[in-house]
């Protein structure tokens, strides 16, 4: 049995799903990157040419670089995504960007509900749900982020928080084709800390079950559930092999093509 097959079993070894998700390794550049950074996308595209990872690959640069990032990735395996969108498709919202506008740049997906947006901009599950719905309406895949704080982790509240965040952030428009979930413990982001592989497997299996409860097995089974939070080339293999982990959302280690390729290597 390969590690890929193993991921579709629950913690007791029972098969959870009929259909396996296609894994995704996505890079979130956050508020980093200028024109000079586009060379990292060109390097990534060139290096992936002869490689056949069993995952999709995506970079989510800042909005200022989306058009040029699309050009840099043209004809390659690298997809480009946005980092956030507004809940409305147009209107009087100075400084904001809608899902339709993102779609118009040629991107295929957008991250919604990243914990930095939840913390810095007061985004609630309701806001995140509306943003995911706007992404779906524009024809984009919504990468919906969930994750507990350190306080909640220490209080053993992680699964409870996941239940309520999935319930509150997942719109009725979610399907197997337009939704990816990213589990990112807030305390693991940018800290160099990660939960144990056993903890990651437990949370991802819980999220899979919540998705099955919300959408039914056929829609929930092929949804990729990414792990995010201090994923690096040296821990990617063990984290990606955990049950119900179908890829990674990567911050710091996605800024340099060489590091990001080291994470993608977990799927080769
Ligand atoms: C993130 O911000 O989505 C993230 C996972 O960051 P890092 O990999 O740097 O922890």
Mean pLDDT by 10 residues, the chain (268 residues): 47 56 97 98 97 96 98 97 98 98 97 98 98 98 98 98 98 97 98 98 98 96 97 98 97 98 98
Report the pLDDT value the prediction gives residue 4, as an integer from 0 to 100.
45
Report the pLDDT value the prediction gives residue 20, as an integer from 0 to 100.
85
**90 located within any domain:** no
Q: 196: which 2 tokens? A: 């144990």
Its domain, for residue 232, covers 56-84+97-255
Report the pLDDT value the prediction gives residue 1, as an integer from 0 to 100.
37
Is 252's C-beta closer than 6 angstroms to any atom of ligand 1?
A: yes
Distance (Å) from CA 31 to ligand 1 centroid: 12
**154 located within any domain:** yes
100 included as an active-site residue? no
**232 located within any domain:** yes
Which residue from 26, 230, 232, 263 has its CB within 8 A of the most atoms of ligand 1, so it is best to mutate? 230
Report the pLDDT value the prediction gives residue 19, as an integer from 0 to 100.
72
Place of tokens 């040419």: 49
**166 located within any domain:** yes
**8 located within any domain:** no
Whole-angstrom Cα distance, residue 204 to residue 177? Answer: 19
Of the candidates 40, 86, 100, 114, the residue annotated as catalytic is 114
Whole-angstrom Cα distance, residue 107 to residue 253? Answer: 21
**114 located within any domain:** yes
CATH of the domain at 214: 3.20.20.70
Which residue from 32, 60, 184 has its CB within 8 A of the most atoms of ligand 1, so it is best to mutate? 184
114 included as an active-site residue? yes
**140 located within any domain:** yes
Domain count, the chain: 1
Whole-angstrom Cα distance, residue 58 to residue 188? Answer: 21
Whole-angstrom Cα distance, residue 56 to residue 264? Answer: 9
**17 located within any domain:** no
């Amino acid at each position: 049995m390969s590690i890929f097959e193993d991921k579709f079993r629950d913690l007791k070894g029972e098969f959870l799903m009929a259909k396996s998700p296609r894994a995704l390794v996505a890079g979130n550049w956050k508020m980093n990157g200028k024109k000079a950074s586009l060379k990292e996308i060109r390097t990534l595209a060139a290096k992936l040419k002869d490689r056949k990872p069993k995952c999709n690959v995506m970079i989510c640069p800042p909005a200022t670089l989306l058009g040029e990032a699309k050009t840099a990735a043209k004809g390659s395996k690298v997809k480009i995504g946005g980092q956030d969108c507004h809940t409305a498709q147009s209107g009087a919202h100075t400084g904001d960007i809608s899902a339709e506008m993102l779609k118009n740049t040629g991107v295929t997906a957008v991250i919604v509900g990243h914990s930095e947006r939840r913390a810095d901009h007061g985004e609630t599950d309701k806001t995140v749900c509306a943003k995911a719905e706007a992404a779906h309406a524009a024809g984009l895949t919504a990468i919906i982020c969930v994750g507990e704080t350190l306080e909640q982790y220490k209080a053993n509240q992680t699964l409870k928080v996941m239940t309520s965040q999935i319930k509150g952030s997942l719109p009725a428009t979610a399907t197997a084709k337009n939704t990816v979930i990213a589990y990112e413990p807030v305390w693991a982001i940018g800290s160099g800390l990660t939960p144990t592989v056993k903890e990651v497997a437990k949370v991802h299996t819980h999220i899979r079950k919540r998705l099955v409860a919300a959408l039914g097995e056929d829609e929930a089974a092929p949804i990729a559930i990414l792990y995010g939070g201090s994923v690096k080339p040296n821990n990617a293999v063990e984290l990606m092999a955990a049950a119900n982990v179908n890829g990674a959302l990567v911050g710091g280690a996605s800024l340099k093509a060489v590091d990001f390729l080291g994470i993608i290597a977990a799927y080769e």
